[in-house]
Structure formats: C-alpha cells, structure tokens
C-alpha cells in the first residue's frame, strides 16, 4: 500500500498553496505524500469519500481554553476536535508559569488533537472563572512576573507559541495597563508574539492597541462597545486602522461576550475582515453562543465573508500567527492534518454575544479530520451542535431593568403632559 489514508473526491481549498480544485490527498508516515486529480482508491489502506465536500488543512483554532479539569473554564479538546474540523487547539493563557507543567503532562501529552499554548503572564493562569466567581488573574499585579514567564516560555518552547495577557477591568481589576507591559517585556525576551485580550476599560482600547507590535494578536477584535474598533458613528477607529496597517493580527475570539454582529458588519463593510476566526471556546460558551470554531466561521460566512477567505482565517493565518506554517497547509510534505467539511443549506439561527440573532442560509459542518495522517470521523451524539438549544441571557444594565419594570420615562412624560410639553 502506497498510502495509509486517502481523502478522495473533494474540493481542496488550501489558501497556503493557492489551491482551489478537485484533488485527492494521500497520506503516509504522518504526512501528506501526494496531491493529485485522481489517485486510485486501491492504493490506500483507508479511503474517505469526500465527494461533495470541501477538504482543507486541519483547522487551527487560535483561541481556546482546553486545560480540562486544571482550570474551571477548560473544555475537552478531544471531544470537540472531529466535530469542529479542528486539528490544532491553541490554548489562550489558561495556564501560567505556576501550573503549566500540569497542562503539559496531564492534557497536552495525552490528547489526540494537537494542543499548543499561549502562556499567561499571570503566574496562576486563569484561576477564578465561573458563573459565580470572577477573580481576574491580573488583578493582583504581584502575579505578573516577567522572569517566571520567560523561564517557563523558554523551558517549553516546543509547545508555547506566545504570551497571553487579559487586560481590562474584569481580568485586571485596577492594574490598568501594567500587565500588558509586563507581558510585552516577557514576549520580547522570548522573541514571541503577544496575544492581548481586551474587556472593559481601563485600560482603554487605544492604550492597548497602540502598544501592539507587528505579529502581535488582538483577540476579541470585533467586540461590542466599549473598547470596540467601531466608533459611535459606526466608523472604524483610527487606532484600529493603524494597528492593521502595521501588521497586528485581528482575531475574533468569539467566546461568551466578545463578538458583535453590528461591529462585525461595520468592519466587513469597511474592508476589515478579521485575519483569524477563533472560538475562544470554554465551558461557559461551548453550548452557545460560540459553540466551536466551525459555528463561528459559519457566522462570518453569513455576514458576507467569502469561503476561501474564511478558510484562510482558520488555516494559513493562524499558522503564521503562531510561527507554524507546517500546520496550516496541505502541500506534499506537510504534516498530515486535514479537515473534511460540508457547506449545508438550511435556516440557521446564529446568535452573537449580545444575544442578537441573524438567520443564515449556510452552515459548515464536519465529516471528520485527519491528524498526523490518521482518520478521525465525526460521529455519535452531538455530532452537530444544536444552535436552537441556546437561549441567550445577556447581562442587563440597571437602566434596562428599570425600563422593563417602570417603562420609559420619556414616553411617560409625553403621554402624561400632552404633545405640547417640551423638556
């Protein structure tokens, strides 16, 4: 047998090699060993029928939380891999220097899916995250130590692809911009990129974005007000434009609260498609609104992103962001990671982080993946996440709660005082 695995009859979309054509892909010894218009089925031990499907490099989800059991927000990468076409999960700072060993030994080394990681600048990683507990890992600045981060990053340089910092009032309390500066110094010493999360100011968007270097990643790039890249008039902010121009990577990082249809629509309309589409999947958004990276990708397709651009945003672009071009392509000789996806038609209710629904007509689903040249079918219960099962419950402001209870003051004033009354 020439091939251990043959994915036959699909439309190969590989942005890295600028391929979009009907191609068969043969795997042997963990790698891609042939790509051709017609490879006979009898040359392979296992044949996967990809007729009517799209074959891509294995998807790389650049922002995930997969430190299962070791952190309260971790999900099981292996339970999500085949259903979401994901062969590489990049964990975004679940672990810091103080608990990275456990992540490596107990999760990475026994996982069938590939797991790489951004190292949290906070020594403890994301330790206090649940529905009832929110203690940001950067809220005590004593936890942010560049020396600990540097040493851990150097020791685990085979699996650590960059530094991570969550800046903002939730993750950083009153620490302001200081954790970002510590993370940048560690990243510089390691000669690795920094992925930065933003939530609520302080620090403000400009303070963070203007610090990012070419190749650094801004995650939650299409988040809603405040710290949105869109201003009050619906236009792209200058600092966001400047960051894009100098090569800062814009990453979706959907998650529980960080993707907004209105912002995304405005950004796409202005020509600012995201560089990377990632899920920020964790325990509190895996059942919606994010689900997984395929659902997130389907949302971007629904908002008008072209299919080849969308595929690029989960293959070539994240591979480049983590300095692993060998993972994001399907050329002969590359690592044998692939996804077999189908674009299905129907009526799909997509919900953003603010609870707004957009009904799409297309959805990407997965037949399965190849990891290191070995086939992993998407089968069993939960094969396709049920979008309709998600009921959004976004937090309400005091004003919104008051209006629900008492009604609008302006409406009252108008009806009580008659039409002639002016404020």
Residues in contact with Zn ion by CB under 5 A are 92, 280
Pairing of strands 3-14, 54-57: parallel
C-beta separation of 62 from 318 below 8 A? yes
Rounded Cα distance, 218 and 167, in Å: 11
Omega of the bond prior to 100 within 30 degrees of 0, cis?
Answer: no
Rounded Cα gap, residues 48 and 386, in angstroms = 26
Q: What's the CA gap between 164 and 278, in Å, rounded?
A: 15
71 burial level (CB within 10 Å; 0-12, 13-18, 19+): buried
- Distance, in Å, from the CA atom of 8 to the CA atom of 348, rounded to the nearest integer, reads 29
Compare residues 220 and 363 and give the one whose CB is closer to Zn ion: 220
**To the nearest whole angstrom, how small is the minimum distance from the Cβ of residue 53 to Zn ion?**
30
Task: Rank residues 125 and 203 by Cβ distance to Zn ion and give the closer one.
Answer: 125
**Residue 24 or residue 251: which is nearer to Zn ion going by CB?**
251
State in angstroms the smallest separation of the CB of 219 from Zn ion.
7
Among all chains, which residue has been given the structure tokens 């089968």? Answer: 379
**Cβ distance to Zn ion smaller for residue 120 or 329:** 120
Nearer to Zn ion, 12 or 256 (CB): 256
Min dist. Cβ of residue 354 to Zn ion (A): 17
Q: How far apart are the first and last CA of the chain?
A: 84
Question: Cα separation of 311 and 231, whole Å?
Answer: 29
Whichever of 124 and 371 has its CB closer to Zn ion, that residue is 124
Closest distance to Zn ion from the beta carbon of 193 (Å): 16
Instruction: Name the phi and psi angles at 322, rounded to 5.
Output: -100, 10
Which residue, 100 or 375, is less far from Zn ion as judged by CB? 100
Shortest Å distance, C-beta 255 to Zn ion: 6
Name the one residue in this structure whose structure tokens are 């992540």. Answer: 103
Cβ-closest residue to Zn ion? 280
232 Cβ neighbours under 8 A, 6+ residues apart: none
Q: Minimal distance in Å, beta carbon 325 to Zn ion? A: 24
- What is the smallest separation between the CB atom of 166 and Zn ion, expressed in angstroms? 7
């Amino acid at each position: 047998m020439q091939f251990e695995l043959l994915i036959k009859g699909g439309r190969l979309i590989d942005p890295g090699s600028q391929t979009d054509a009907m191609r068969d892909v043969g795997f042997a010894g963990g790698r891609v060993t042939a790509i051709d218009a017609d490879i006979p089925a009898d040359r392979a031990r296992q044949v996967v029928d990809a007729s009517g499907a799209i074959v891509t490099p294995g998807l790389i989800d650049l922002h995930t939380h997969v430190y299962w059991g070791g952190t309260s927000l971790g999900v099981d990468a292996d339970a999500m891999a085949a259903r979401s076409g994901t062969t590489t999960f990049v964990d975004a700072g679940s672990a810091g220097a103080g608990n990275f060993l456990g992540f490596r030994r107990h999760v990475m080394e026994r996982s069938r899916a590939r797991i790489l990681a951004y190292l949290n600048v906070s020594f403890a990683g994301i330790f206090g995250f649940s529905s009832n507990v929110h203690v940001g890992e950067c809220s005590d600045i004593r936890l942010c130590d560049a020396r600990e981060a540097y040493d851990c990053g150097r020791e685990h340089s085979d699996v650590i692809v960059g530094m991570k910092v969550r800046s903002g009032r939730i993750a950083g309390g009153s620490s302001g911009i200081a954790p970002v500066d510590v993370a940048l110094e560690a990243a510089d010493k390691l000669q690795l990129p920094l992925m930065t999360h933003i939530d609520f100011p302080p620090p403000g968007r400009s303070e963070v974005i203007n610090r990012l270097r070419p190749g650094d990643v801004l995650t939650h790039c299409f988040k809603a007000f405040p710290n949105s890249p869109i201003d009050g008039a619906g236009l792209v902010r200058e600092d966001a434009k400047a960051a894009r121009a100098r090569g800062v990577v814009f990453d979706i990082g959907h998650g529980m609260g960080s993707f907004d249809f209105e912002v995304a629509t405005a950004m796409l309309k202005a020509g600012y498609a995201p560089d990377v589409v990632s899920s920020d999947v964790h325990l509190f958004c895996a059942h919606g609104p994010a689900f997984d990276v395929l659902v997130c990708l389907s949302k971007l397709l629904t908002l008008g992103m072209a299919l080849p651009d969308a595929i690029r945003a989960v293959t070539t672009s994240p591979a480049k962001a983590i300095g692993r071009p060998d993972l994001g392509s399907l050329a002969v000789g590359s690592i044998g990671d692939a996804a077999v996806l189908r674009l299905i038609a129907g009526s799909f209710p997509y919900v953003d982080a603010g609870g707004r629904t957009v009904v799409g007509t297309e959805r990407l689903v997965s037949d399965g993946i190849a990891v290191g040249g070995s086939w992993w079918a998407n089968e069993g219960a939960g094969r396709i996440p049920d979008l309709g099962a998600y009921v959004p419950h976004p937090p309400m402001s005091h004003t919104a709660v008051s209006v629900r209870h008492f009604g609008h003051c302006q409406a009252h004033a108008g009806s009580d005082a008659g039409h002639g009354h002016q404020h």
